[in-house]
């Protein structure tokens, strides 16, 4: 299973804000997430897929706004993301960190990010 | 190396070895050297040159069990990292070779009543050979990297016992990519050492072959059966027997599926070395990506139940527990070049269980309160050492604790870190004892010769046979035990 176009478009906005990156980097990370979900075992993909869905669609439960996360104002979305990361409910908090961990792999693969940090390419130089 | 030969109907061997990691590869070499007819079956794929050093993601995808998503369930969710490729976890570990010290031997083998059957001197002799074969030596200063050098400096300032890690490498380039399958093949892991040597002596290595069951007749093993990566099934007859070396997760699952071994012990007594990390930010660049992945460690607290190691995480893994979103996240990650990451590894007393599930294994595990107390002490010691080494900020990474410390005067705040494992970021890759040794079937799954109680022709030569967790990195002990017991099997 992967992420549909709409799901990718929405979560890209959240990821861009989460990592303080422009939306095009957010889109790249969302595309990475889609590819990741297609490659991992189905149970793991299902779990991560549920987290992506929940973070996209549950602002109403966390910040009281009945809109998907990508439609929130930037300030409200920041408050919303903080609510997930600091949740006292273990499964919610871990769900958030699961998404962050996987998304970071996409973020860390981004060439512009790596160049900014001076860490060189993802793949080792050979020879 | 393998010739790509898949097992055919009617295939048979004197010995079939299940698993090609530290235990299985060692058994394969010993048997091949003795001229025995051996087939090694590995569930995972061959490690291809083009898959080496591609970064964390591709490493997970090609070389880790469940593509890096395996977890233990309990009060918290704990990622369990295991290699799943020809060479097993030796391909993706930190190249740490820890000689089993006598105190650990006494606690592990001595307490189980194995002093006469598996004397420390006999294991030590096998460790000598392993160290020669795998070019084991302490990491030289040039490979300590910033991460290891800072730990060395911090420990020296505090007067703690530490040392350069003894590693199985040859001409290591210090690319910090041990866990992605060494891109320069410097790490002397099984797929570049014992497995090709065994193959050159006639052993048949078959990757992409997952053994599901052992068939018995008259309480004797007669065949193994399973499926290939392409979904087709296979069966291989065995003339002498089956050596299970498929890890503390897979070996008990194969026994359980086969109805072999004392049921109350198979898959029980699952032990770990759970670990967590504490990061520190320094004024000067640390450059985690330069030097050996794991180059320096602290022994000072091993007798208390924990040891500490550097853990040079790549940028894509280092930021998970760092605080901050948006601009704050960017500021945190801008510190990555100046960041040192050190881990504490606990000799936990908790016991969990492993059982077969439809497609994957089911692992249950929850650290005890005592284990969590060790985590709390270990995290504080790591933070203390970071400050001693000159850190300007330290990130304990524990929910409910301080996000960041900026002075050693704040270390006292770590005395109140929560003891609930759900507040911690815990991970493990050292797994033990699910087929533990015992004098008889009331005490364990296998005897002191590694033979499974109650059946003939099935041995277990991996970490699942160890009576309990070691408190030190296990590859060396697994190899020495496998070598010793396989030599006895041959003789």
Q: What is the mean pLDDT of each run of 10 residues along chain B (491 residues)?
A: 53 96 98 97 95 93 96 96 98 97 97 97 98 98 97 98 97 93 96 98 97 96 96 96 98 98 97 97 96 96 97 89 87 93 98 92 97 98 98 95 96 97 96 97 97 98 98 98 97 89
A33 part of contact set with chain B, CB < 8 Å: no
Closest CA to B363 of B435, B438, B277, B271: B271
Residues B36 and B14: beta-carbon distance below 8 Å: yes
Helices and strands, counts by H and E, chain A: 7, 0
Which of A105, A111, A115 is most worth mutating to test chain B (most B CB atoms within 10 A of its CB)?
A: A105
Which of A119, A125, A127 is most worth mutating to test chain B (most B CB atoms within 10 A of its CB)?
A: A119
Residues B57 and B316: beta-carbon distance below 8 Å: yes
Please tell me the distance from the alpha carbon of residue B38 to that of residue B243, in angstroms, as a whole number: 10
A104 part of contact set with chain B, CB < 8 Å: yes
What does the pLDDT look like over A31-41, one tens digit per residue?
Answer: 999 999 999 99
Q: What share of chain A is helix, strand, coil (3-state, %, to 5)?
A: 75, 0, 25
Chain B residues with CB under 8 Å of A114 CB are 315
State residue B7's pLDDT score: 59
Please tell me the distance from the alpha carbon of residue B17 to that of residue B293, in angstroms, as a whole number: 30
B71-72 and B78-79 strand pairing: antiparallel
**Orientation angle between helical segments A5-19 and A74-85, nearest 10 degrees:** 80
Three-state DSSP at B254 gives helix
- Taken as a whole, chain B contains a residue count of 491
Q: For B58, name the nearest residue in chain A, comparing CA atoms only.
A: A123
Of B55, B66, B319, the CB nearest to A109: B55
| Chain B residue set in contact with A, beta carbons under 8 Å | 52-57, 61, 66-69, 76-77, 175, 177, 180, 183, 289, 314-317, 319-321, 325-330, 333-334, 336-337, 359-360, 399, 422, 425
**Cβ-proximal residues to B1 (8 Å cutoff; 6+ apart), any chain:** B46, B86, B191, B195, B196, B199, B205
* A66: number of Cβ within 10 Å: 9
The catalytically annotated residue of B269, B273, B430, B453 is B430
State residue B3's pLDDT score: 43
Q: B1, exposed or middle or buried, with CB in 10 Å at 0-12, 13-18, 19+?
A: middle
Residue A122 above 90 pLDDT?
A: no
Report CB contact under 8 Å: A18, B329: yes
Q: B208, exposed or middle or buried, with CB in 10 Å at 0-12, 13-18, 19+?
A: buried
Q: What ipTM, to 2 d.p.?
A: 0.93
CA-CA distances (angstroms) from residue B336 to A108, B266, B292? 12, 44, 17
In the residue annotation, B430 being an active-site residue is answered as yes
DSSP bridge partners of B361: B356
State residue B124's pLDDT score: 98
State residue B8's pLDDT score: 61
| CA A81, A82, A85, A88 torsion-angle sign | negative
Q: What's the N-to-C CA distance of chain B in angstroms? A: 28
Structure-token match 């530290």, residue found? B22
Residue A125 above 80 pLDDT?
A: no
B353-356 and B339-346 strand pairing: unpaired
Please tell me the distance from the alpha carbon of residue B442 to that of residue B438, in angstroms, as a whole number: 8
Residue A58 above 90 pLDDT?
A: yes
Residue A6 above 90 pLDDT?
A: yes
């Amino acid at each position: 299973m992967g992420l549909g176009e709409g799901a990718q478009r929405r979560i890209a906005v959240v990821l861009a804000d989460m990592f303080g990156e422009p939306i095009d980097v957010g889109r790249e990370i969302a595309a990475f997430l889609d590819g990741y979900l297609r490659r991992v075992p189905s149970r793991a993909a299902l779990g991560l897929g549920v987290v992506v869905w929940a973070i996209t669609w549950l602002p109403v439960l966390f910040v009281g706004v009945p809109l998907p996360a990508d439609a929130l104002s930037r300030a409200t979305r920041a408050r919303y993301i903080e609510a997930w990361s600091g949740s006292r409910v273990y499964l919610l908090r871990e769900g958030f960190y699961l998404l962050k961990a996987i998304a970071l792999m996409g973020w860390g693969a981004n060439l512009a990010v790596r160049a900014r940090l001076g860490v060189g390419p993802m793949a080792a130089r050979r020879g | 190396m393998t010739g790509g030969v898949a097992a055919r109907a009617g295939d048979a061997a004197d010995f079939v070895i299940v698993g090609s990691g530290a235990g299985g590869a060692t058994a394969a070499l010993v048997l091949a050297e003795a001229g025995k007819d051996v087939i090694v079956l590995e569930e995972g794929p061959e490690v291809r040159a083009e898959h080496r050093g591609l970064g964390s993601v591709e490493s997970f995808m090609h070389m880790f069990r469940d593509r890096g998503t395996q977890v233990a369930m309990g009060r918290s969710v704990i990622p369990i990292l295991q290699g799943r490729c020809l060479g097993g976890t030796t391909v993706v570990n930190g190249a740490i070779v820890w000689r089993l010290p006598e105190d650990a031997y006494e606690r592990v083998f001595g307490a189980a009543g194995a002093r006469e059957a598996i004397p420390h001197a006999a294991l030590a002799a096998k460790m000598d050979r392993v160290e020669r074969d795998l070019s084991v030596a302490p990491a030289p200063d040039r490979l300590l990297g910033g991460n290891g050098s800072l730990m060395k400096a911090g420990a020296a300032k505090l007067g703690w016992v530490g040392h350069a890690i003894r590693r199985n490498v040859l001409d290591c380039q210090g690319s910090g990519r041990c866990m992605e399958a060494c891109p320069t093949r410097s790490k002397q892991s099984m797929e570049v050492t014992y497995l090709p040597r065994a193959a050159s002596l006639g052993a048949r290595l078959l990757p992409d072959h997952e053994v599901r069951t052992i068939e018995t007749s008259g309480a004797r093993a007669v065949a193994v059966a399973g499926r290939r990566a392409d979904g087709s099934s296979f069966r291989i007859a065995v003339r002498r027997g089956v050596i299970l070396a498929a890890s503390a997760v897979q070996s008990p699952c194969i026994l359980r599926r086969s109805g072999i071994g004392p049921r109350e012990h198979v898959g029980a007594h699952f032990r770990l070395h759970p670990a967590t990390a504490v990061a520190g930010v320094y004024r000067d660049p640390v450059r985690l990506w330069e030097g050996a992945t794991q180059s320096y460690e602290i022994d000072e607290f091993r007798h208390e139940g924990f040891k500490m190691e550097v853990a040079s995480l790549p940028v894509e893994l280092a930021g998970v527990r760092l605080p901050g979103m948006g601009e704050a996240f960017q500021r945190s990650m801008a510190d990555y070049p100046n960041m040192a990451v050190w881990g504490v590894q606990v000799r936990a007393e908790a016991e969990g269980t492993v059982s077969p599930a439809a497609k994957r294994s089911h692992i249950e595990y929850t650290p005890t309160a005592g284990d969590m107390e060790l985590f709390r002490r270990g995290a504080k010691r790591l933070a203390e050492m970071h400050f001693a080494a000159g850190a300007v900020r330290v990130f304990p990474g524990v929910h409910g604790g301080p996000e960041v410390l900026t002075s050693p005067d704040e270390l006292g705040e770590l005395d109140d870190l929560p003891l609930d494992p759900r507040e911690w970021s815990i991970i493990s890759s050292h797994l033990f004892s699910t087929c533990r040794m015992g004098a008889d079937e009331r005490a364990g799954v296998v005897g002191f010769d590694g033979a499974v109680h109650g059946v003939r022709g099935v041995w277990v030569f991996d970490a699942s046979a160890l009576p309990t967790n070691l408190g030190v990195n296990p590859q060396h002990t697994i190899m020495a035990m496998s070598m010793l017991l396989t030599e006895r099997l041959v003789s």
